[in-house]
Chains A and B, each alone.
Chain A
């Protein structure tokens, strides 16, 4: 028994050949399953010789490429539209479960009496590609414009005019739009459009810290998987009282800022 077993083991590799160019099956198959039901019908009523002949023909048909059959294409105009097609594929800068640190500089566009430069930083966390929360911290420097200095010469002091000195707040961020742009028609730059809404506290030169509403929007142009250039237009509105005469007023500031956005941790690639 042992000798038979050993002999079998020695002879086994002789039949385990690598695949050669022409497909040859050296031994006959016991059965070939095809989709040709006529073959199954024939099998029932055939002799062993005819069965073998049919098997050979079936195998030949399986291995021989057949000429493509002409297909009639009709009714293309009645096809239903795709329900889920991404027209701009491959969102370049992934944001899900990542933080964004955004240092920025800018200025207030609509202050008639003061020149205000804006220095700030924002830290955002994205729950998904479309939604995130952002902490905002802005410091605003104030210098008098020419008209303010001239009014002072007329004994008009502008201390009663409120202007923002700093802002701290929290925003909800929505990024519904993704796009790609050609830069000088030489390279492609992916970008996102976002909108944000939130609130916070504005510290004013009147010594008050009123609650403020913030609305913003902007674009982030991705340079790579972790760095982007971002511009932002933000509107801040608040109500405060003057420390000079006690009069209250509603103030709105329009900020334009520009900065870099650094995303971390590193992106997970699909």
Chain B
């Protein structure tokens, strides 16, 4: 029994002597350093855009609505022309013509309080023509997957604008200078054509007809939402 035990021990010792791993030598320059991921000084997240903006003109057509006027709804229809002098920066001009429509609040107020019939609601102006100069900053550019085979490109931009507004009521005309702050998103179907969603706050002054006495101009912040189409030139 002891012999068998000793023989088994000898067997395992001999096995460990002859069955050994081979030592492999590598050249030092082939070995990985602390981090195998290169760190670039100026990383580029998107090397080649499918829808580049740089050096291209953008034409747009849109339709929208002003949401905060209590007595008249205003629906702007507009054209815009923009030049992208960089993928992230652009400057453009926007012009609109606004359709005017009375809200049901005027009749409701006059029905409830007959004395308000002397309030000249029809003299409350709304923008008729507007012209804006806008600067646009586009920090976001990316792509979305609608189906597994399809990709669409999109971008999110911020806009700052100054402009001139021609204000009109049923019996008066006026004008104002204002500024706008906006956020928009473009969704491209091709390298040139896409749709654009706009959310802007237009700040301007207009006549306030409600208080008794002399009609005075007061500052107004009006929210505008818009939906339109855009086309980039030159075509790719």
Contact = CB atoms under 8 A, between A and B. Distances in A.
Nearest to A6: B7
Contacts of A177: 144-146
A105 to B, nearest CB: 16
B99 interface: no
A111 B141 CA distance: 33
Given A86-B148, A150-B211, A14 B18 contact: yes
A17 interface: yes
Given A16-B18, A87-B150, A110 B45 contact: no
B88 interface: yes
Contact of B140 (A10, A111, A181): A181
Interface in B1-39: 3-4, 7-8, 10-11, 14-15, 17-22
B142 A180 contact: yes
Contacts, number: 142
A28 interface: no
A9 B233 CA distance: 85
B171 interface: no
B150 A110 contact: no
A35 interface: no
A147 B211 CA distance: 9
Majority secondary structure, B binding face: mixed
Given A154-B115, A155-B115, A185-B45, A18 B22 contact: yes
B210 A154 contact: yes
Interface in B38-95: 43-46, 67-70, 87-88
Contact of B7 (A9, A87, A186): A9
Interface residues of B, number: 55
B65 to A, nearest CB: 9
Given A87-B145, A179-B142, A20 B22 contact: yes
A179 B143 contact: yes
Interface in B210-226: 210-212, 218, 223, 225
A4 interface: no
B105 interface: yes
Contacts of A256: 199
The size bracket of the interface on A is: 35 or more
B46 A182 contact: yes
Q: Which residue, of A6, A153, A193, A245, has the highest number of chain B Cβ atoms within 10 A?
A: A6
Contact of B116 (A85, A156, A182, A193): A156
B113 interface: yes
Contacts of B19: 13, 16-18
B70 A153 contact: no
Contacts of B14: 10, 13-14
Pairs A-B, 5 closest by C-beta atoms: A181-B142, A179-B144, A112-B70, A182-B45, A110-B67
Interface of A: 2, 6, 9-10, 12-14, 16-20, 81, 84-88, 109-113, 146-147, 150-151, 153-156, 160-161, 176-189, 191, 193, 244-245, 254, 256
Given A183-B140, A244-B112, 17 more contacts: A2-B4, A10-B10, A13-B17, A14-B14, A16-B19, A18-B19, A19-B22, A112-B105, A150-B210, A154-B115, A154-B119, A156-B109, A156-B113, A156-B116, A161-B105, A177-B145, A185-B45
